[in-house]
Structure 1
Amino acid sequence: MMVLFMYMTSLASNEKFKFSKKMFIMIMFTLMLMMMFNMNDMSFMNYNTKNSNTMEIMNKLMMLKNENLNSLNSMYNNPNFMITIMLINYLLLTLIAVVKITKSKTGPLRQKF
């Protein structure tokens, strides 16, 4: 726990969280666009072409996508998925706790010599 505390203080020493509505809306819009493109399964690229060269390139792209998905499936399958989500939440909670614990008037916990 102490190593995690020191690591997080070196990353985010005395930084305050400021959330602006403009940035929040922009992030949400970007996430929605990414989700829509992901759900379409590259249908925005599936247009009718008579060129066989283009169809070969499309097939190669789809095969690359499937290979990448297969390599990630082992990391994000059902038992490991919950552990990954718990780890992400734990690190986020630790980051917030460390930022709240450190005092902005005294400076960072780790001083440079």
Structure 2
Amino acid sequence: MRPLDVDPGSLRSAAAVLAEAVDALDQLAVDFETRLAGLGEPWGTDEIGSLIGRCYLPAVDAAVACLDANAAELDRYGENLARMADSYDQTDDSGRLGFDALQQRLTGY
């Protein structure tokens, strides 16, 4: 079995990078929606324009929902990385305290 070597600091750094990516993705989604709203409904009201409008608006809604879902998932990944780092630290601390207590019982110091 290969030894497991985990650096909680690296996990926290990765969590911070993901948080920055989520913030950037959120801003891009806002910018995307703002730019699209600024375009209005240029396809018109004739038969073809109405068909385009009926397809376009649901497609935009789906794209925005996809961006939001991806950002939320990345955010969860980052939160889980931070929790994992905390868990490794707690496990290491607990093990160290246990061995310190054992050493004290065995040696008196």
TM range (shorter): 0.3 to 0.5
Q: Which has the higher contact order (CA 8 A, sep 6+)?
A: 1
Structure richer in helix, relative to its length: 2
Give the TM-score of the pair, scaled to structure 2.
0.33
Which entry has the higher C-alpha Rg, 1 or 2? 2
Give the TM-score of the pair, scaled to structure 1.
0.32
